[in-house]
Amino acid sequence: MTRGRRAALLIGMSLLLGSLAAADVARREDALNRRLAPLIDVVVAAEDLDSRHKLKLADMAIRRIPAMYAPVGAALSPAEIAGRELAVAVQQGGTLGASQLADPAAGAGAPVGRGERAVEILGLGSAELVAPGARVDVLVTHDSDTATSGRTDLALEDIEVLDSRHVKPTSDEEQLERVAATLRVSVRQAVYLASAQSFAREVRLLPRAAGDSGREASDRRRKDSGHATEALGSEQP
């Protein structure tokens, strides 16, 4: 066999073996695709996200993966979890879904933070003014049987109202409007209010004007209260 024929034969065999190898790879790839099919889209983090982060569309991306590898509860569309809060931190490329999201029902209790309490108190006031979101001062008038009979104290200042409802009069003779208000207070304030409901003759809730807060407003009210006390003292025999 001449050298030219041997070269042609080797080239032909190389082409044949290459074709067979390519066909084998294609068959293996098709078999693998059939085994992994179907492919689905899942939502992943487009960047590192901190816990308690509220998801925006820009925070998310789509990745196509085999359905058999998709985590249980993985979101399939960014729109379905946009606006939700993360319960844990998620690294870039991490899957987003039910396991990473905060449960809205878990925070359905009283809207208070650490060291705070939500306390309901019954007092004189208008439910229209003592409304959720408003801030009030709490005045306590002592019962006649106590050592501080008839004295009115500015018990609490600048307290947030979480909820309120109008309370119907207990009799036709009752003229003053009453309101049941849920207040956001500290533990110590909660204990005091619970005690005041028993020893106080009257509890009054005074709505504060918008922006009426801070030291200047408190000093002004204390000054006015002092003048009122002096005036009352001068009228007594």
Q: How far is the C-alpha of 226 from the C-alpha of 213, rounded, in Å?
A: 19
pLDDT at 216 over 70: no
pLDDT of residue 105: 59
What average pLDDT score do residues 60-84 get?
87
- Helix and strand counts by DSSP (H, E) for the chain: 3, 7
Least confident span in 9-18, 62-71, 184-193: 9-18
Chain-centroid distance of CA 54 in Å reads 10
The tens digit of pLDDT for each residue in 90-99 reads 999 999 988 8
Q: What's the mean pLDDT when you consider all of the chain?
A: 79
Least confident span in 23-27, 211-215, 223-227, 232-236: 232-236
pLDDT of residue 198: 72
pLDDT at 174 over 80: no
The tens digit of pLDDT for each residue in 151-169 reads 888 989 999 999 988 887 7
- Under the banding of pLDDT at 50, 70 and 90, the label for residue 236 is very low
- Under the banding of pLDDT at 50, 70 and 90, the label for residue 110 is low
52: region left, alpha or beta (phi > 0 left; psi from -120 to 50 alpha)? left
Give me the architecture of the 39-105 domain, per CATH. Alpha-Beta Complex (3.90)
Q: How far is the C-alpha of 46 from the C-alpha of 93, rounded, in Å?
A: 6
pLDDT of residue 227: 40
Per-residue HEC secondary structure of 102-132 comes to CCHHHHCCCCCCCCEEEEEEEEECCCCCCCC
Which DSSP string do the residues of 29-81 spell out, in sequence order? HHHHHHHHPPEEEEEEESS-B-TTPBP-GGGEEEEEEEGGGSPTTB-S-GGGT
Q: How far is the C-alpha of 132 from the C-alpha of 230, rounded, in Å?
A: 35
pLDDT of residue 186: 92
Q: How far is the C-alpha of 89 from the C-alpha of 82, rounded, in Å?
A: 16
- Under the banding of pLDDT at 50, 70 and 90, the label for residue 68 is confident
Q: What's the token pair of residue 111?
A: 């809207």
Q: What percent of the chain has pLDDT over 70?
A: 77
Q: Which residues contact 141 (CB under 8 A, 6 or more apart)?
A: 150, 151, 152, 200, 201, 202, 203, 204
Domain map of the chain by residue range?
39-105, 116-212
Q: How many CA atoms lie within 13 A of 115 on its CB side?
A: 1
Amino acid at 223: K
The tens digit of pLDDT for each residue in 10-52 reads 787 788 777 778 877 877 777 766 666 688 899 999 999 998 8
* Residue 163 near residue 105, CB atoms below 8 Å: no
What average pLDDT score do residues 112-130 get?
87
The tens digit of pLDDT for each residue in 127-147 reads 889 999 899 999 998 876 555
* Residue 81 near residue 54, CB atoms below 8 Å: no
- Under the banding of pLDDT at 50, 70 and 90, the label for residue 225 is very low
Buried/exposed code over 51-62 (b: 16+ C-beta within 10 A; e: otherwise):
eebebeeebbee
